[in-house]
Amino acid sequence: ADFDAKKKRKVAEIYQALNSDPIDVAALRRMAISEGGLLTDEIRRKVWPKLLSVNTDDLPPLPGKELREDNKDYQQVLLDVRRSLRRFPPGMPDDQREGLQEELIDIILHVLKRNPQLHYYQGYHDIVVTFLLVVGNRLATALVEKLSTHHLRDFMDPTMDNTKHILNYLMPIIDQVNPEVHDFMQSAEVGTIFALSWLITWFGHVLSDFRHVVRLYDFFLACHPLMPIYFAAVIVLHRKQEVLECECDMASVHHLLSQIPQDLPYESLISKAGVLFVQFPPSKLAKEAAQAERTAASTFKDFELASVQQKPDTVLRQRFRERLRGEERLRGEERTKSILTKPRTNRFVKLAVMGLTVALGAAALAVVKSALEWAPKFELEIFP
């Protein structure tokens, strides 16, 4: 009864904000962020356009089939959309789903044609299908176009440079809240690639319950474009115990984190992400993110190099032998000192011992032996 009363009050407040003159967009943002979000798809159809400043009285005409002729993106979009079966409600009749998939292709091609500066990326369709299912194809076209030129703009560059830069905010956020988790992940050299599909699909690709997806979209549409990376950070922090109990190597930690739990306490995590954004705004973390860019760039190149080798384990064995030879020269006190002088290492006696015994080689070898599973450019791992 209490829940129903709160829900009724919230619905009344949302409609009061919608009916005010001018529309109270600030109140709508608060409603979208606060517990329960916008509650129903009927309300979302009214509020999402307001959050994106889209005029619903001047919607673009429905795209025509001529969009598909000689379109450089058509084949890739077609492949991705055909693979998107699980993004549609279970039990939906095949003919209805196939009709929606055709609309999904047309929306994507329409936005790309009208904005030639935008480049399609794998996972974009996961965002577009969410809007299609909630608001219908005509309004979805307008909302997705606005979103693509604003919130998603960095993901739609010709290269992944800006996307990688956004990912670089993840570790500084984690470090501010829990240095132990941060240091463990750094020791494991896991990087941030596990969160890439979360970020570029707004979690649409990795969450199986559509209710959770639209709840997050309420939140992200009402917030700063970098809010998804804060939400990614709170998911990692929420799983801190699992992370710290994991084997401290890249393959193990990457596997753990890339398997996102479906029973997350979404309202609590949304609230925490909002608090973190206020405490540690992007401007405060920009310097650390820029420093991470230099390390991430070199790691990324190494990883890509390994992933395109015919026999990546051969490359690693060679590197492993080189490391062993290097370690021979670092025996004794100097070697111990060089490994144990990392920041905050005193809290990681176990990890320090592991570092001494495996001498950095075994964990790296295990990771890159499985590089072919992630090649090329992580797409198989990111989008199973």
- Both tokens of 251, joined, read 């393959």
| pLDDT surpassing 90 at residue 302 | no
Look at residue 1 and tell me whether its pLDDT is greater than 90.
no
**Residues 316-364: tens digit of each pLDDT:** 444 445 555 555 555 554 444 443 333 443 343 334 333 333 333 333 3
pLDDT computed for residue 375 by the predictor: 33
* Domains of the chain as residue ranges with CATH: 1-149 (1.10.8.1310), 160-301 (1.10.472.80)
> With 80 as the cut, is the pLDDT of residue 295 above it?
no
End-to-end CA distance of the chain: 42
Do the Cβ atoms of 205 and 197 come closer than 8 Å? yes
174: burial class by Cβ within 10 Å (0-12, 13-18, 19+)? buried
Task: Kindly list the distances between the CA atom of residue 17 and the CA atoms of 22, 29, 50, 223, 307, in Å, as whole numbers in the listed order.
Answer: 9, 10, 11, 18, 52
pLDDT given at position 327: 54
**Residue 310: predicted pLDDT:** 36
Average pLDDT, the chain: 81
Query: Does residue 115 surpass a pLDDT of 90?
Result: yes
Higher pLDDT, 307 or 371: 307
What's the confidence (pLDDT) of residue 377?
35
- Confidence at residue 324, expressed as pLDDT on a 0 to 100 scale: 56
List all residues 6 or more positions away from 181 whose beta carbon is below 8 Å from its beta carbon.
174, 236, 237, 240, 243, 244
298 — pLDDT class (breaks 50, 70, 90): very low
Mean pLDDT of 4-33: 95
pTM of the complete model: 0.76
Burial class (CB in 10 A: 0-12, 13-18, 19+), 21: exposed
Query: What's the token pair of residue 85?
Result: 């079966």
Residues of the chain above pLDDT 70, percent: 75
What's the confidence (pLDDT) of residue 326?
56
Instruction: Report pLDDT for 260.
Output: 92
DSSP per-residue letters across 124-141: HHHHHHHHHHHH-HHHHH
